[in-house]
Each structure stands twice: as structure tokens, then as C-alpha cells.
Amino acid sequence: MRNKKQATAIRRNGLIGLAALALLAAFAAGAHAQVFYSMPGARPVPDDSPVLGIALGFGDDLFRVVGFGRFNASQHSDIGLEVIYEDLDTGPGSDDTHRFGGGADYKYLAVRQDDTTPVDVAVQFGAGVLAHSNYTLIAVPLGALVSRTFTVDGDRDIVPYGGVYLAMDFVDNDAPGNDGFDSDVDVEVRLGASAEIARNASVFAAFHAGNGTLFFLGFSASL
């Protein structure tokens, strides 16, 4: 009985967390976060079960679609690949800007959750490109990710997570009226959670704040 109550409480808290992220995103504004992103959580995907998914990103005057895959690299690491489409509203009287790109990242699990350690901790770094006409953005994020896995109903996981990243952006903009090459460095915070809705299938929500804000809703499934 106690275990059943604990499972119910964990499930309820996970759903409340996802709802809170959605509410937070409804009030978020700013430029888009120029960091490339894949599946949340510190644990690598299993050796025999790569993960494919899709995520929708929402920011101030911005909409992003991301297709991604994660593939096991070792017992402690995995590799993420993604393709990106981005639509940016440039204001009244102007056509929307459409950008295309892709990215890759490597994630290494440094600390594994067990009976004595309450969380998983991973380090992650990657690189990505977004391009449109005379504009090219190269983003290089480097950071740490902490997550905790709660198992409910015996086999379904809820995984809240948080991460801090140093995001380096390199921009080449040769459009008229611009200065050409520029670069900057920002600190970005990522908060989110995923929840299994069926065996090997999950939904997730995430909020990124740094160089602007961006909110993600996504779905992923193991093969």
C-alpha cells in the first residue's frame, strides 16, 4: 500500500512539474536560445536501443522543429545527432526568416544514480550550425547535466533534470548593414522533465534560459 501511494505521489509530482514548465513558458519572452539540444536526462541510451524523437521549440517570434537521434557510444556515453528547421518572425512588413541546420553532441555519464548516490551526473558538449542566405551561426555548448530517475508502476520512468551550459556563439552575417563576423559567450540554464507514456516511449518538456528563452515539447521512442 505504501509503495502504491509513493508511486502515485511521484506520478502526480511529475505531471505537476510538466504543467509548471508549460505555464512558465507561456510567460517567457526574449530572443531564441542559440544552443542545440537533444533528449533530456543524464543517462546514455542503452547499447541495443537507440532513441529517435521530435521536439517543437517556441520562443519570442520564433518556432523551431528538431528531429533527433541518440546512439550508444559506450557503457557511460552516447552521441546525439539532430536536424533543425527554424522560422523567425522578423516583424511587420518583412517575410519570415527560415533557417536550416544540424548539430551533434557527446554526453558522458560521470556519476550514476544508485542506492548511495541520489542523481545521475553527466558532462556534455556539442556543436551545431544554423544557416540562411548570408547568415551562418555556429554554436558550441559545453556543460553539466543532473537528473534523477523515478520508476512508477514498476517499469515506467519519470526523469526531472537540470543543467548549466557555457554557450559559445560564432556568427557570420554578410547581409547589408551588418558587421560581418561576431561572437559571444552566454551561460544557459536548462530545466525539464520526461515521462514514459508507454513502454519505450516518452514525452518531455524543457525550458532553456540564457541568450533569450526557448521552450520545448517533444516525443521520443526507443527502437
When pLDDT is cut at 50, 70 and 90, the band that residue 48 belongs to is confident
| Mean pLDDT on 199-217 | 88
- Of 149 and 6, the structure prediction assigns the larger pLDDT to 149
Q: Nine-digit cell at 143? A: 556543460
Pairing of strands 62-74, 51-59: antiparallel
- For residue 217, give the C-alpha cell: 515539447
d(CA 218, CA 12): 20
**Band (182; pLDDT cuts 50, 70, 90):** confident
DSSP H or E segment with residue 127: strand 120-132
Give me the number of domains the chain comprises.
1
Question: Which uninterrupted H or E stretch holds 187?
Answer: strand 180-198
Q: Is residue 219 part of a domain?
A: no
In a domain, 220, yes or no: no
In a domain, 23, yes or no: yes
The enclosing domain of 10 has a CATH number of 2.40.128
